[in-house]
Structure formats: structure tokens, C-alpha cells
Structure 1
Amino acid sequence: MSFRGVFGACSSALAAGILAAAVIALASGLSAQRMPTALGPGGIGALTEVAPQGFVGSAACADCHAQETRAWLSSQHAHAMARAEPQTVLGNFDDARVTHQGSAARFFRDGARYMVEIEGADGKTAAFEITDTFGVHPLQQYLVTFPDGRRQALPFAYDTRPAAEGGQRWFHLYPDQAIAPSDVLHWTGMQQNWNFMCAECHSTALRKNYDAAANRFDTQFSEISIGCEACHGPARGHVDWAAGKRDGQTPHKGFASVAAVRPAADWAIDPATGSPAHGVARPAGDMVETCARCHARRGIFSEDWRPGAPLTQTHLPTFLSAGLFEADGTMQDEVFNDHSFKQSLMYARGVTCGDCHEPHSATLRAPGSTVCAQCHLPEKFASEAHTGHAPGPKAPDCISCHMPARTYMVVDKRHDHSFRIPRPDLSARLGTPNACTDCHADKSAGWAAEAIARWHGPERKGFQTWAQAFHEARRGDPAAREGLIRLATTVETPAIVRATAVNELRALPAMATEEAVQKALADPDPLVRIAAVQAMAGQPPDMRWRRLSPLLADPVAGVRIEVANQLADQALAGLSAADRDLLAAGFRAYEAAQRLNADRPEGRSNLGGFLLRRGDVAGAEAEFRAGLKLQPDLPALAVNLADLYRVTGREREAQDVLERSIKANPGAAAPRHALALGLIRQKRYAEALDQLRRAYELEPQTPRYAYVYAVALQSLGRPKEAATVTSAALRRSPYDADLLMLALNSALGAGDVARARDAAAKLALLRPDDAEIARLAARLR
């Protein structure tokens, strides 16, 4: 499993769903109800007694930065988290009762304490004290602190919007699901754990402090909420500088590091286009990277973040992966704003978050779409010639057309920040969303595409041109290869798109793919280099060492750590002293990154796999077993442990692990498939076939399960059933190489030339460098 397994959502079975990131994302517009504005001990901006060295607290900034402090106090950042007190709690605790699909909660007061009566981890109803508030608008969540240091987010949140907008009510965050106490989504489960899921982006200078041996947290922060130093870094040196000579010789005015400052921009509008004629160079480590720390879908591998560094120095952003983003790059799951914005032409031209949002209050610099008029001529873009709609109060504006919204957490409406041109023509072809039919829900995408063609002509222009390639790649279609290579190797393509293209190319091996990956290893953007390093998985050891070892000295930690992961099976003996030191340092860094996330079964699994490749079987076993202790019903971890037992000759123990996993999670396919392989090794074919069938039926969309089941059927003299399974699987996965090879052999054996021709033609596209396949396809034409 790759380094991305714990840090990049949805890139593996273990990673799926763990990066919902902050339980509530911050948005502009703060509810004024009972929000404290005082700075000082115990209040907003107060420094805790356990603050890391160098931190002073936001209250220390107020005297010199009064205007910024006032703006910050009005922001959601200042109120992202607080102790549960009368001035911070917005919910109704007047014996309020709420029910949801068989579960219920009662919110009440016990003297000064805020309480909830709700089902606990044991399935029994009990009263719990609420210790903290979490967020303010449009919803507020509440945390319960347990004796082992865990803070857990309750499943019922309070809608803080005005009653006229549907607010002032309790509601369940998973309205369509009944969540049992054994479910990881239960409020006492790991997916609702503040320490890992939320804390870094709702507090300042967080240290998770997980004790793996005791399975406890001692999580600490310098401020309970998001203070000045969350973005500017520790300010002790700056405060000392301000109290001293304030000379021009002290770097960064006493800060250890600062976000890079963008050169002066010329946003003068070209009357012909209605937009600025010029862009501006974007320095590395600018304001956008500071915001990305919390406004990106990402994982963390180091708590030593500092402004001015690329995000990949301490965090690993996800790619534009299926399930998170639509094929055209628009947001699908809860991914926040960074990945969307970095796909935009505005980002490419040098625009930063602060050009539209005042950094301290987080409010727009002008209301609504008038913020766009800072750089675009309203009269040009509000015209009927541009929008196709007559001007008026109901006419669409910049935001409705270029920043379509989705609602998350039931009531939290968020706008896509990729600023893309509406493309209903892509919707008609690829099924992607578009702003036109978001509004005209009763119309088809084809109808909208025809309307836009009437207004603007048949040629569709736009900066984002990757929908087709990503759509084909997600289908496994080899037609995607050329487009992906073009995206991956064109420097003008946004880096997040280049990285995604490299990642998608892993499924389409070819000499051309290999050349593109090799070029990406030297890409100027670290996320692209990380994708290229990961794409080297499975290559021969000597090739991996030759191509990856130079990156052990990469300036970005995320790259070095992934290189160490890919070189885990490289022996230190025989290397030069310099290479040995670099590789050993990389190994230590990778292990430290996983141990930072030892509270997660994914982190344990990653470390176990790494140690196993390093030859530490006992260490790997301990990590796999620890991961299963954290989440006993996690199928992928059980399979990993069973594989370890198998390769070390402990077949009986492997079978026991898999059988326990099946009992704990009977709906999981992976342990059944793995168990079947073990039964085949024991020549228990009837039992094995039953488990293969169950795995296939539980997860028919996984080509491997269909392929192995079909091969087993064929081997047991049931070719018709095998052909039926293969055909059905190929309808779901028409470009799976193993299934195509099976279909090809079956067709050739049956003398079915048409079916053999189709399979061979697809295989030739999948494996363009395979001369034998090419000759066979040519003969069958």
C-alpha cells in the first residue's frame, strides 16, 4: 500500500472516507448570536498553558494590529471551536428532543453544564456532558470528551440559520442512514473523532499526542480556535522584534518564515474582453498554500507546518479522484476549495484567495457577484449577449453560472471555486454536472447545450480541458492514454491536473506512459513528482533505484517520504555512504509519518506493509494486529495480516484471520476472496468456489473477483458458467486486460472469430507494445 493510503482519500480500500477533514468547513458570514468578542485569559485568543514554544496567542497581537483583530473577531475562524458556555452555545438545550431512524437524543442543562442523552458505544442510552462547540454557521456541532482524551462529534447538529430560512432546529448529519454503535460513522466511532478528523483545522498549533501503547490522546493546542498564529506561524520572535528596535535587519520582522508575497499585479481591464489583459507570476509558498492547509482535501504527515512552505512539506493533497471530483474536475464529495481553485484560469493568472476574500474577516471584498467587478466589466458580462438571459433581478449572475453550489452536511451550501465555463455539452456526453441544468432542472443537458451554441457559436472555449481524458480513464478505456500523457507533460496544465493525469496513467502501461512518468519525476510541482514516484510501484528494483534515488534529496518532504516507501525493499548494504544515509533518513521519515497516524488502522496497515518489505516480519505483524484492534471489521487489514501469515507458512492462522473478518463483516468481499485462494491451496475446491462466488456477488464491479471466479469455474469443467461470468464482468469493465485475455482464449477455443476479434482489438489498445497481441489482432481483422 502506498504512502497515499492513509493520506489520500479514496485511493485505496483503507483510505476510503477517512479524509472528510474538518467536520464543519468555515464559510463567510458569522452568526451574531451570543458570540464573544473579548480577548484575554479564558477567552478568544487566549494562550493555553501547554502551547508549543514560540507561540504567544492572538491576544498578544491586538495592541499593534487592532483593525485586523477586529476583523478576525468577526470571522468564523475566531469561533471555529470554543468551550461550551452560554456565550458560545447556539443550540436549544431547553429539554429539546430529536429522533432519527430509531435513534434519539435529548439536549438539556444540568446546572452550568450542557448535556445530551443519547445512545453510547455500548448501545445503551446515557447522559454525556458536552465540552465544546464546533463551528457557528450555518450549523453548530458539539463535542463530548471521553476519559481517554478522545473528543467525539455528536450526530445531531443545530441549524443556526434564522427560522425563516429553515433554521433554529436540531437535525441529523446522516439523514438517510441508520447508524449502529458498531459503525465507524457512529458518533463514538473513529470517523467522528475530533483529534484526527477535525482538530488541526479548528485550533491553533495542534499537537495530537496519541499514545499508541495506551491507546489514549493528550491532544493540546496553543489556542482552542483558529488564531493569528494558525496562519502566520509562531510569533514570539515578531513580538520581541516589535518591542525592540524594529530594525530592518531582522528577517521577516521576527517570524521564522512567512508566506511568499506575490509581485504587484496589473489587473487593468481590457475593454475588448472585459477581463484583465495581464496575469502575474505566482511565487511558491504564497497565500494560497497557507489557506490550502485547511481548505484542501488532504492528510497530514507532519505537525511542523510553517507559512511559506509548499503544502506537500507537511501534508499530502489528494488527486482529482473519482468519488471526490467529477470527471471535469468539479467538486463531488466534500473537498473544500483548494483543488477547485487550483484548476482555474484565475489561479493560473496569479489570483489569490485574498483578492476576493478579506483574509482576517474571511468576508468577500464586495457583496455577491460584485466582487467579480474588481477585475471584470459588469456591463459586458451581465448583458444578454453573454448570459442569454434578459437582465433583471432573476437573471443569472457570475456566481450562479461560474461557481455552482452543492450542499454538504445537510444545510451547508458551498460554491465550486474552479470558475469554469458552463459545459452542458460535456454533461450530455459524459454525465458531468453543469450550472445550466442546476437551475433549469426540468430541462436536459442537450437542451442547454443547444442554447449556448445559439448564443456563443458551436466552438466551446475554456481553460479546463480534461473532462474527456479523465472520463475515459475512469472507464479504463485505453483511448485515455494519449490525452492523459498530453495533460501530464504540458506545463501550462494546472499542477493538480498533471498529477491526476500521472496517477491515472498507472492503469495504462506502455512505453509512452513510462516516458511521461519519467518526465514527471522532474516536474517543478511536488505533487506531480509524488504522483510519478507512486507510478513507479511494481517496476523492477534496479529501475526504481536508478530513477528514484536522486529524489531522496528532493527539497520537499512529501516527495522524499514517498520515495522511501517505494524503495522499502532496497537493501542498505552495498550503497555508498551518502546514498545509505539518505535512504535511511527517508525510511525514518516514512515510519515517523505513519506513527503520527497510529490512531488510524490505515496508518498501521501502511507501516506494516512497509516493515514487511523491509524484512521486519514481526514488526509488520504487530502493526497489522494493532490496526485490527482499532477496527476489527476492516477487511483490507485482515487480508494484509492473512497474506503475511501465508508467506511465512502459517496457513492455518491466515484462515482463522479471514474467517473472523468474514464473521465481523459478512458483506465484505475481500476476505472471502482471500480465503478462497487459501482453500484452493488446500485443494478444497468446492468450498473455495463458494467463497469466490460470494466475493463476486458482493462486489461484481471488481474485475479481479470476476476473473478468478471465472477461471475457477472453467478449471472445474463449467465453461458455460465461466463464459457467462466473463461476459457480465466485461460489460461492467470492458477494458480489463485479464478478463479480455480470458474472453479471447475462450473465443478462440470455441471458434468465435467475431468475439475473439473484439477482445484482441481491445487488448492491442491496452498493450500497444505487445507484439504478439498486435500480430494476433492483425490476423483476426
Structure 2
Amino acid sequence: MRFIQHFFLIIVFCAFIASCKEKNEYQSVFKEIEVRLYDSISDDFFLGDKKCKECHQKEFKNWKGSHHDKAMEVANSETVLGNFKNITFESQGVTSRFFKKGKDFFVNTEGPDGNYHDYKIAYTCGVFPLQQYIVKFPNGRYQCLKTAWDSKVGKWFDLYPDFKIVHSEWLHWSRGGLNWNTMCADCHSTNVRKNYRRETDSYNTKYSLINVSCEACHGPGKQHVNDVARLGEDYVNSDTFLMTSNTSPKELVDQCARCHMRREQFSKAYDFKGTMLDHYFPQLIEEERYHADGQILDEVYVYGSFVQSKMYQNNISCTNCHNAHSLKLKFEGNALCAQCHEPQKYNAKTHHAHNINSEGAQCVNCHMPGNYYMGNDFRRDHSLRVPRPDLSLKYGTPNACTNCHNDKDDEWAWSSFKKLYGTVDSIHFSEKLIPGIQGEVNAHEGLLALIQDKKHPEIVRASAVKALEKYNTTIFIQQYIDLLEDDSPLVRATSIDVLSGINNRNYVSYFLPLLKDTKRTVRIKAFYGLSSLAKEEVPEVYKKDYDKVKKEFWNHVNSNYDFVGGRVKEANYYLKKGNVNKGIEGYENALKIDELNNSLRLTLANLYYQNNTFNKAESLFKKVIELEPEYGPVYYSLALLLAEQNRVEEAIEQLQKAKIKMPTNNRVYYNLSLLYNKKGDYKNAEKILYEGLKVAPNNESLLYTLAYQFYTTDNYKKSRTIIKRLIKLHPENPQYMRFLDELKTK
């Protein structure tokens, strides 16, 4: 039936073209038929680099041999750089041997079962400063070896030399962390369709061209070539040809960003239609990914940094510094920055305080410090900021001065800064963002100021929205609701995420209009926020939008079901709907991907606990203790579970361990006291409460429990003393006055 429908559409399309005279009509119908015929763009629309070369020889010459050209290639004697002459490499107890059989390249190394096997190298990935090697596995999987070739010095090295990774772990080269289909393919080849099948946990990944070709950036060339042939000198570029000299700077950055940012994918495949936010949502400035001021920390690539910069705000784009085809810098050294910045002023010792032509005199070393990723790949921070030793002193963030002068401290750096430039003459967004991300008291005021000031970069405002979640978000409900109509889709989407986490039933009326949002990422997040809403509850005016976005949501979930995050999202969707069993099933499936993920295991254990499946919950809590014996909260959770089953002695034992692991947690002392009281051991019940009050002298729960403890043991005088203290601390609580009145009768 599907084939018949497609055949009929083709006939109608051809008949229409025969009578169509206007090129705009031709282009619009072409696009329409393309969308209707294919879930993604067919390989037939991609003509290959040799076709591009016919008219664009200079661009082709620049591109040939570039990192894009070499992004992925079939493994052969011309493409493989590594030494496969029966060379062995040992790291973290695993010995890998690289060798050849005839013309083919092989590695003998530890596989997913913990045993050693021979694996044939199918493809190379990248070229400099390292080259990785890809092995074909069953079920359409391709895996990247954890051992890579250092192209700079010519040696094998371990991508994660400081981590002992066991064969059952997600980060093992044979598993999810180094799976080519989901971690590499989308950005290393052209027109990639991952085609993950959740029913069989398999892939049928396809691409039109193996590397990052001309058409990976400019879009499928068939229509462009046809238009040029048909129109000749009258040819005018249509919106089907991307990344041209007419593309605006910010749009160009967004188009490059899809492969140069850390992000979550929201479409089944990138189809060269819409904008970045119709396909991907970028990583915001959050702890463990960025430093609190927005400097790079984890592997976040370039986009999230660059859009923080004044360069981006002033319409500087990637191609102002990089040749679009060779990817090389347009100028060497400070001449690159001197395109815009007056060299007499900035390329002078009076500005940078270093000898001319020294490393310290290079603009990038002060304004674009970097980190090494994947072992030997040095990448610069593209936020292009002024070093701030004063913020380092205040908040512990890094600065370029002491990064280079590692024998000096931040006090020295700040003193030197002031001698050269005086105090800082402008307020950077990070001065308000850092305290909020670090969760400092009253820092919400700075976050709110950032959010409301639209002069700040979108990613900064959205990150401030996310950071505000650390505070009592119920106080800021109206602000979040107002932000659902913000001009920035990043801010709208992040506000949805925060409100969804509070109580999505309360905000249904505000989420529904966002099902019509222009950005797919915002629509899908809104649908997820409406998880608890049954279809019959959807107002008639939104039903068509609801059905449309529901398909987009499930495409998103199913396409990402090979990630832990995809399975968790599905699980949480069902939990929001009140379907605990499906939620549990979802977390069980997520744990199958990453068996050592204790965050998943703890959530699943608590779901079992809530569902009264105590034996499974206990087993998981104990597994977490086995894997992470220093993690205090798990002892606490296990103790509550045991207490629920009236296994008092065992619960006390676990709480005593929790007290050692997290001695400042008030709830441990509180619950431990209750358990001692339950078994009639009033002496230890009182002793534990006093221990807790040494840690938190004015803790309300501990004081009240101690007062009640004295009351139940007829020690009314001590009880009155504690209650009077509570009344002084909390005069607004009438319960304490009633308690005191009761004590006066004793």
C-alpha cells in the first residue's frame, strides 16, 4: 500500500512539473514531495564530491585531505596510520596486539565477554592528532577501539588511561560509550540515518557518503545541479543550498553547531530542514560539563562556548577565523585576531606584558586557553574571555594566568592583573551565574537578573533558568510561566523542563500552546511536560497538535532508546502518567545498558520500595553498597527499607554506617533515635539526638524529638527546657505552645 501511495505521488508530481513554469513553484513542490516520500532524504539526492569538483575546483582542493575529508574512511594501506606490525600495547591490565592478515588489519583484545578475540578493522575514524579504528559487530553495531593511534608522535595510547574499565561497563570499547552508530556516525559521515530498532536492539545505520563531504554542510546537491543546468546564468540560490556567502553569521554558526557541540538529538535524522533546534538541544552551562563561569571542563566541543562570547554577539562566525573548506586558520599567530583588533594597541607588550612573539604574547593563550580531550587532542575554549583571577579567588574557577604560570597562585595573578589593567571595568555575566550554579545563599537574585536581561547570550539566560532550580522553585512559578513566552527557544524549553519537574498537572494550560511552537525541541519538551494528561483531557483546539507532537516525541524516544537517557525518559513519562509498573520496566531496561550505573540502580530500588517489592529493592541497595561502599545515602535508604519491614536491629546497623559516612545528615540521627526508641533503648535514643544536636544545635526536628523523648520517659523538666527553646526559635508555631501547656499540667 505504501509503494502504491508513493507511485501515485510521483505521477502527480511529474504531471505538475510538466505544467509548472515558475521556478519558485518548482522548488516548493520539490521540497514537498521530498518530505512526503521519505522519512529522511534518500541517497539519490546526494551526488558526491567529484560532481562538486566539476564547478568548485578551488573549494574541492582546499577540502581534499582536510579533517572533514578524513572523518571516516575504509581501512586500507592508504588510510590506516597506526603500526599494525605485530605490535602490542598494554593498559589497565588489557594487552592489545595489532597485526595484519594479508591486506587486512586486525587487533586481538578483550571483548564484551571478558575474553580475548581477533577483530578485523573495518574503518578509520579521524586523522590528526589521533586516529581511531572501527570494528564491525553483530546486529549492525560498529565499535571504536579504546586504544587509538597518536598521529603526532606515532604511538598507540589509551583514550582513558586513568580508568580501569571492565568488560561489562558502558564505557568499554565494545559497548555503548564507544558505539559508532550512536556516538560518532552523525557527525563523521553525510546524511546519516541511525535506524536503531529497539525491538531487536540492533542497527541498520545508513549514510549517503562515508565522510563529511561537501553535501554534509551544503545539503543534497541534486536539486542545486538540476537548477544550475536548467536556469544557467539565471540561476539564483534557493534555500535548498545551505552555508553560502549569503548565510547570516548566527545562522552559519547554528548550522556548524550540529556537529560541533555537545547535544541531545530530537529528530530521527538530520534532514537539512528547519534549524538546529528542530534537531538538537545543546548542553547548557552546568556543573561537571562546564566550570561555573562557563569555561570548558568536560568535552563540550565549541558551540556552547562560542555563543557565550562577545564575538558571536557581534556577528563573528566560524568562517571569520577558519577556512570553510580546509578548516585551517586563515592567519597565523596574532594576525588572526588583528583582522578586527588594532595590532598597535593589543599586539604590544603594554597590553599583554610578555615578550613579543613569545607564547605569552599570543592572544589565544590568554583569551582561549584549552584542555586536552581524548588523550592528546588540545581544544581551545571559544568563549574568548578576559582572564579573571579575582573570580578564581572568590569562586575557585580557573584563569589563563595561573594555567600558564603554574608556579604562581591566584593572588599573584590578581595583583599582576590590577597593576596592568586596574580593576575590572565591566560586569561579566559569570559574576551572577557562578554563585547560582554553585548554589550560594541568595544567589537566585543574580540568576533572575540574568534571565530578565535579554542583552545576555541565550545560553547564559537558559543556564540561569536551569540553575534557579537549585532554589525553592515554587517561589518563582510566575517567573517560569512568563518565560514560556520568551523570545528565546532555549529559555522556553528550559523553563518547561523546570516546571515539568515541579508538578506538571498545575501547568497544563500553559504547556498546551507550546505544542504549536516553531521549534521541535520545544514542542517535544512541552508534550513530555503534559505526560500526566490523558488524550481525552486535551481541549479540541489542541488535539491535532497533540497527536502530531506525540509522534515527534516517540520518534525522539525510540531514536534515543540505545542511550540510558532515552530509556529513562520513557520510564519517567510512564511514571508521570501514574503507571509505576511501566516506569519500573523502563528503569530495568536502562540498567541493562549500563550495569554499573548506580544512579539508575538507586532510582529503581526506590521504585521497588514504593511498589512494596521489598526483596528486589533490598538486593539493589546492597549491590550499590558493594560497588560504592563509601556512598552514605544508600545505607540510609536501606535502613528505611528494613525499618519498614520491622527489621529494627538490621536497620539500626545500616543507620550507624550511614552516620559514619555522612555525619552532618540530620535525618540519620533523627531516624536512628526513633529506632532505638522503638526497641525501648531510651538511653541510646537520647544519646543519638544529642550527637545530632552537636552537628546542628538548632535543628527543629531533632529538638522536638528530644523534647518528646523526655516527655515519654516522664522527664518533664528537661522536656519543658527544650520546648521553651523551640518556642524562642519558632514563635510562629502554635504546636509548641500547646505542648508547653500540656507539660505545665505534669
TM-score interval for Structure 1 and Structure 2 normalised by the shorter chain: 0.7 to 0.9
Whole-angstrom CA distance in 2 between matches of 1:247 and 1:413: 46
* C-alpha distance in 2 between matches for 1:744 and 1:168: 67
Give the match's secondary structure for 2:134.
strand
CA distance in 2: counterparts of 1:600 and 1:511, whole angstroms: 31
Of 161, 180, 184, which aligns to 1:194?
180
Distance (whole Å) between structure 1 residues aligned to residue 666 and residue 553 of structure 2: 35
Question: Which string of whole-angstrom CA distances, capped at 9 and with x for unpartnered residues, describes residues 651-703 of structure 1?
Answer: 455445655666677677676555444333222233334445556766x59x9
Output the amino acid matched with 1:456.
Answer: Y
Say whether residues 1:519 and 2:478 are aligned partners.
Answer: no
Helix, strand or coil for the counterpart of 1:609?
helix
2:190 is matched with which residue? 204
Which amino acid in structure 2 is aligned with residue 713 of structure 1? L
Pairing 1:126–2:117 present? yes
| Cα distance, 1:259–1:492 mapped onto 2, change above 3 Å | farther
- Give matches, 1:492-641, under 5 Å: 492-509=455-472, 513-541=476-504, 543-616=506-579, 619-641=582-604
Displacement of 1:151 = 1.3
The alignment's TM-score, normalised by the length of structure 2, stands at 0.83
Q: How far is the alpha carbon of 1:476 from its aligned partner?
A: 2.4
Identity percentage of aligned residues = 33
Does the CA-based 8 Å contact 2:528-2:553 persist in structure 1? yes
Mapped contact 2:346–2:352 kept (Cα < 8 A): yes
CA contact (8 A) 2:505 2:532 kept: no
Q: CA deviation at 1:346?
A: 0.6
Gaps of 5+ in 1: 1-49, 162-166, 264-281, 732-738, 761-769, 777-781
Equivalences for 1:74-89 in 2 at 5 Å?
Answer: 74-89=65-80
Residue of structure 1 aligned with 2:425, choices 452, 456, 461 = 461
Q: How does 1:348-427 map to 2 (within 5 A)?
A: 348-427=313-392
What is the CA distance between 1:380 and its match in structure 2? Answer: 0.8
Give the alignment's TM-score, normalised by structure 1.
Answer: 0.79
What corresponds to 1:67 in structure 2?
58
Going from structure 1 to structure 2, the CA distance change for 1:311 and 1:771 (only over 3 Å counts) comes to farther
> Is the contact made by 1:481 and 1:513 (CA closer than 8 Å) also made in structure 2?
no
What is the SS of the residue equivalent to 1:70? helix
- Cα distance, 1:144 vs structure 2: 1.1
Question: Paired residue for 1:245, among 205, 222, 231?
Answer: 231
Measured in 2, the distance between the counterparts of 1:675 and 1:310 equals 48
Query: Following TM superposition, by how much is the alpha carbon of 1:298 offset from its aligned partner in structure 2, in angstroms?
Result: 0.7
Contact 2:243 2:255 in 1 (8 A): no
CA contact (8 A) 1:344 1:464 kept: no
Give the counterpart letter for 2:416 in structure 1.
Answer: A
CA spacing shift, 1:538–1:328, aligned 2, 3 Å: closer
Conserved 8 A contact 1:403-1:415: yes
1: CA distance between counterparts of 2:526 and 2:727? 41
Q: State whether residues 106 and 117 of structure 1, in contact with CA within 8 Å, keep that contact through their aligned partners in structure 2.
A: yes
Change (3 A) 1:448 1:601: closer
Give the aligned partner of residue 438 of structure 1: 403
Going from structure 1 to structure 2, the CA distance change for 1:627 and 1:512 (only over 3 Å counts) comes to closer
Kindly report which structure 2 residues correspond to 1:212-227, keeping only aligned pairs within 5 A, or say none. 212-227=198-213
Contact in 2 for aligned 1:259/1:308 (Cα 8 Å): no
**Counterpart of 2:220?**
234
CA distance in 1, matches of 2:669, 2:405: 46
Measured in 2, the distance between the counterparts of 1:378 and 1:452 equals 20
Which residue of structure 2 lines up, in the alignment, with residue 137 of structure 1? 128
- For the Cα contact (< 8 Å) 2:243–2:252, is it kept in 1? no
Q: Deviations over 1:346-399 (max 9, x none)?
A: 111111111111111111111132111111111210222211234354542211
Q: Distance in 2 between matches of 1:57 and 1:743?
A: 72
Q: Distance in 1 between matches of 2:526 and 2:198?
A: 26
Residues in 1 aligned to 2:702 and 2:333: alpha-carbon distance in whole angstroms: 57
Alignment of 1:668-679 (within 5 A): 674-679=637-642
Structure 1 position 632, deviation (Å):
3.5
Is the CA contact 1:639–1:674 (under 8 Å) kept in the aligned structure 2? no
Q: What CA distance in whole angstroms lies between the structure 2 residues aligned with 1:173 and 1:100? A: 10
Name which of 123, 142, 145 aligns with 1:151. Answer: 142
1:481 aligns to 2:444 (yes or no): yes
Give how far 1:189 is off: 2.2
Partner SS state of residue 109, structure 2: strand
**Aligned residue identity for 2:201:** N
Deviation readout 1:130-185 (Å, 9 max, x if unpaired): 11111111111111111222211112111111xxxxx1111111122222212222
**Which string of whole-angstrom CA distances, capped at 9 and with x for unpartnered residues, describes residues 621-649 of structure 1?**
44333333333343343444445555555
Give the conservation status (yes or no) of the 8 Å contact 1:344–1:419: yes
Asked whether the 8 Å contact 1:141–1:153 carries over to 2, the reply is yes
Alpha-carbon distance change, 725 to 354 in structure 1, aligned in 2, over 3 angstroms: farther
CA contact (8 A) 1:343 1:464 kept: no
Separation of aligned partners in 2, 1:395 and 1:668: 44
Q: Which runs of 5+ in 2 are unaligned?
A: 1-40, 677-684, 708-718, 738-746
Q: Do the aligned partners of residues 388 and 653 (structure 1) sit closer, same or farther apart at CA in structure 2, a change above 3 Å counting? A: closer
SS in 1 for 2:45: coil
Partner of 2:23: none
Q: Secondary structure at the match of 1:602?
A: helix
User: Matched residues in 2 for 1:643 and 1:199: separation?
Assistant: 36
**Inter-partner Cα distance in structure 1 for 2:468 and 2:402:** 32
The alignment status of 1:330 with 2:321, answered yes or no, reads no
Q: Is the 8 A contact 1:51 1:221 kept in 2?
A: no
**Is contact 2:143–2:180 with CA below 8 Å preserved after alignment?**
yes
Query: Structure 1, residues 88-140: CA drift from partner, whole Å, max 9, x if none?
Result: 10111111111113221111111111011112222222211111111111111
Separation in structure 2 between the aligned mates of residue 334 and residue 361 of structure 1, nearest angstrom: 23
Distance in structure 2 (CA, Å) of the matches to 1:470 and 1:432: 12
Q: Is the 8 A contact 1:713 1:719 kept in 2?
A: no
Q: Distance in 1 between matches of 2:405 and 2:726?
A: 46
* Corresponding letter in the other structure for 2:212: I
Give the match's secondary structure for 2:164.
coil
Number of equivalent positions: 677
Distance in structure 1 (CA, Å) of the matches to 2:648 and 2:401 = 56
Give the counterpart of 1:185 among 158, 171, 188. Answer: 171
Alpha-carbon shift at residue 759 of structure 1 (Å): 9.7
**2:673 paired with 1:714:** yes
More deviation, 683-692/521-530: 683-692
**DSSP 3-state at the match of 2:264:** strand
Q: What is the distance in 2 between the residues matched to 1:714 and 1:631?
A: 37
1:116 aligned residue (91, 107, 110):
107
Q: Say if 2:434 is the partner of 1:448.
A: no
The 5 A counterparts of 1:257-272 are: 261=246
Q: Note closer, same or farther for the CA distance 1:512–1:606 as it changes in structure 2 (3 Å cut).
A: closer
User: Conserved in 2, the CA contact under 8 Å of 1:612 and 1:620?
Assistant: yes
| 1:577 partner amino acid | E
Q: Hey, what's the Cα distance between the residues in 2 that align with 1:310 and 1:614? A: 31
Offset of 1:321 from its aligned partner? 0.7
Q: Which has the higher contact order (CA 8 A, sep 6+)?
A: 1
- Given that 1:259 and 1:309 are in contact with CA atoms closer than 8 Å, whether structure 2 keeps it comes out as no
Aligned-partner SS, 1:132: strand
